[in-house]
Chain A
Amino acid sequence: MAYQFHRISVLVVEDNQPMLEITKSLLVTFGVGHVIGAQNGEVGFKRFCEYNNDIIIADWMMKPMDGISFTRQVRNDPKSPNPYVPIILMTGFSEKRRVLQARDAGVTEFLVKPFNAKDLYKRLVQVIERPRQFVRAPDFFGPDRRRKKIKGQYDGPYRRESDLHSAEILKVLQEQQKEAHDTLKRIREKQGLGKGDKFNIESDRT
């Protein structure tokens, strides 16, 4: 028994025509029954409202509406036919900051370009086999962002990009930073070191 991909429809939102065609061809080869293309987020949202696709694959950098704004619209617009639809974001970015930005917009999976057929397939399997519960909070609606188990208990306040807008949290962060600077200063003074010298941080604990 294999996946019955012919029963689903996938929306691919990508402004780069050759890339759009290749992604569509891969999905057709996988056996996806209905593959719809759109040139940008704005058209993508219209298509999604029309077809209510089962999965969305979107590029990040597009004009006039990029993949992040598109994701937010799918998740939050009252016209959205399914705010829970899995969204796979394709991008050349792989730096952690960018991944977290996409996660905070409500993206379900992240696919780094260039990718191969197996990479795309793995993301599809992930959204089928490991669907994520959704979270509705005052400043976020989207898939639960807590996938990785954090070692030990984390009591710190800084977890989300939106946290930086909170004056209270900014104050705590500044205090933490000041404390770290004081610790470094103390170690340097104790060991008679200059600003650029290497030192052993453990020496402060003895």
Chain B
Amino acid sequence: MTNDDRYIEKTPAHFNQERKRKAEYIKPPNTLKAKVGSGGLSEQILQKAQALLENNSVDFQPLAEMYLSSLMRGIEIATDPNTESDTESLISGMLYPSMQLKANGGMFHYPLVTNIADRLVQFLEVIEEPDIDAVEIVLAFHTTIRAVIIGKITGTGGRHGDELMGALNEACTRYFERYPENKTKTPQEYGVEF
């Protein structure tokens, strides 16, 4: 091996990389604007669309049951001592169905499901490990959402809904007081502009 070869072997690859960020900017023709013109939509049309959304007769129960079953599968895998999945996959197995419950509840007259599932998503987004106590909390969320669906509690659930949310929030707070090391150090921000 020559000295040059040794030098190349020792030199980290990034010293030889091409310069990054050599970007080309392209302004595509705005054909969309040319087609639709200007003026927007009238308030009347927007109200009609909103009414259509609010009066949809979709039965959320079968959909919710599907996501709840998927969440339960995620819980079972996370508590299986013989699981071969990595931490990220274990959390994702519970996070994705929770996100679907959050996304769809409010679309189909169950905003309380959205609120509860949103809190669950926030919890799953910040835990580092799905330990047994964390999974217990996920199970409590699952039970609560299931009760809301079976009880057909449409709307926000009023005072009872607030109490349920309060109890679940407290469970999360207590968990992080007990296991502060299991909370990610990355700051979380929600509802950010794109």
Q: Are A2 and B194 in contact (CB under 8 A)?
A: no
Q: What residues of chain B lie closer than 8 Å to A114, measured between beta carbons?
A: 103-107, 111, 114
C-alpha gap A125/B38 in the complex (Å): 10
Selected contact of B32 from candidates A18, A86, A90, A148, CB within 8 Å: A86
The answer to whether B58 and A22 touch across the interface, beta carbons within 8 angstroms, is yes
The chain B residue with its CB closest to the CB of A61 is B96
Can you show 5 pairs from A to B with CB atoms below 8 A apart? A54-B32, A92-B104, A110-B194, A134-B27, A168-B17
Q: How far is the CA of A140 from the CA of B21 in the complex (A)?
A: 10
Q: A1-B39, A131-B32 are in contact. Are A94 and B191 (CB under 8 A)?
A: yes
Contacting residues of chain A (1-52) with chain B, CB-CB under 8 angstroms: 1-5, 7-8, 16, 18-19, 21-22, 25-26, 29-31
A125 lies within 8 A of B49 (CB): no
Which of chain B's residues have a CB closer than 8 A to the CB of A117?
Answer: 46, 49-50, 52-53
Contact pattern, A 87-114, Cβ under 8 Å of B = 1, otherwise 0:
0001111111101001100010110111
Please give me the residue from chain A that is nearest to B19 by CB atom. A138
Interface, chain A (partner B; CB < 8 A): 1-5, 7-8, 16, 18-19, 21-22, 25-26, 29-31, 54-55, 61, 84, 86, 90-97, 99, 102-103, 107, 109-110, 112-118, 120-121, 125, 127-129, 131, 133-140, 144, 147-148, 166-168
Of the candidates A90, A94, A110, A121, the one whose C-beta lies within 8 Å of that of B41 is A121
CB pair B37 A3 closer than 8 Å:
yes
Contact partners of B107 in chain A: CB under 8 A: 19, 22, 113-115
B190 and A94 contact, CB distance less than 8 A: yes
Asked if B25 and A138 sit within 8 Å, CB to CB, the answer is: no
Interface status of B24 (Cβ within 8 A of chain A): yes
- CB-CB under 8 A from B36, the residues of chain A are 3-5, 7-8, 128
Q: Taking the nearest CB of chain A, how far is it from the CB of B60, in angstroms?
A: 8
Question: In the assembly, what is the distance between CA of A114 and CA of B106, in Å?
Answer: 5
With a CB–CB cut-off of 8 A, which chain A residues contact B133? none
Which residues in A have their C-beta under 8 angstroms from that of B56?
A: 18, 22
Asked if B190 and A1 make an inter-chain contact with CB atoms under 8 angstroms apart, the answer reads no
A61 and B121 CA atoms in complex are apart in Å by 15
**Residue B193 CB within 8 A of the other chain:** yes
In the bound complex, how far is the Cα of B46 from the Cα of A135, in angstroms?
34
A-binding residues in B (CB < 8 A): 12-14, 17-18, 20-28, 30-33, 35-42, 45-46, 48-50, 52-53, 56, 58, 63, 96, 99-100, 102-108, 111, 114, 117, 121-122, 125, 186, 188-194
A2 to chain B, nearest CB (A): 5
Majority SS of interface residues in chain A?
A: mixed
Partner of A2, one of B42, B111, B117: B42
Minimum C-beta distance from B118 to chain A (A): 8
- Looking at the assembled complex, report how far the CB atom of A178 sits from the nearest CB atom of chain B, in whole angstroms: 15
Compute how far the CA of A1 lies from the CA of B39 in the bound complex, rounded to whole angstroms.
Answer: 5
**Closest B residue, CB atoms, query A169:** B14
List of A residues within 8 angstroms of B23 by Cβ? 135-137, 140
The answer, among A109, A121, A128, A168, for a CB contact under 8 Å with B49, is A121
The answer on a CB contact under 8 Å between A2 and B103 is no
Does B99 lie within 8 Å of A91, measured CB to CB? yes
B9 CB to closest chain A CB (Å) equals 15
Instruction: Please give, as numbers and ranges, the residues of chain B lying within 8 Å of A25 by CB-CB distance.
Output: 52
Bound-complex Cα distance A116 to B107 (A):
8
Bound CA span A148–B79, Å? 43
CA gap between A152 and B118 in the complex, in Å: 34
User: How many Å from the CB of A114 to the closest CB on chain B?
Assistant: 3
Q: Using Cβ atoms and an 8 Å threshold, which residues of chain A touch B18? A: 138
B49 near A29 (CB under 8 angstroms)? yes
Cβ contact within 8 Å between A54 and B35: yes
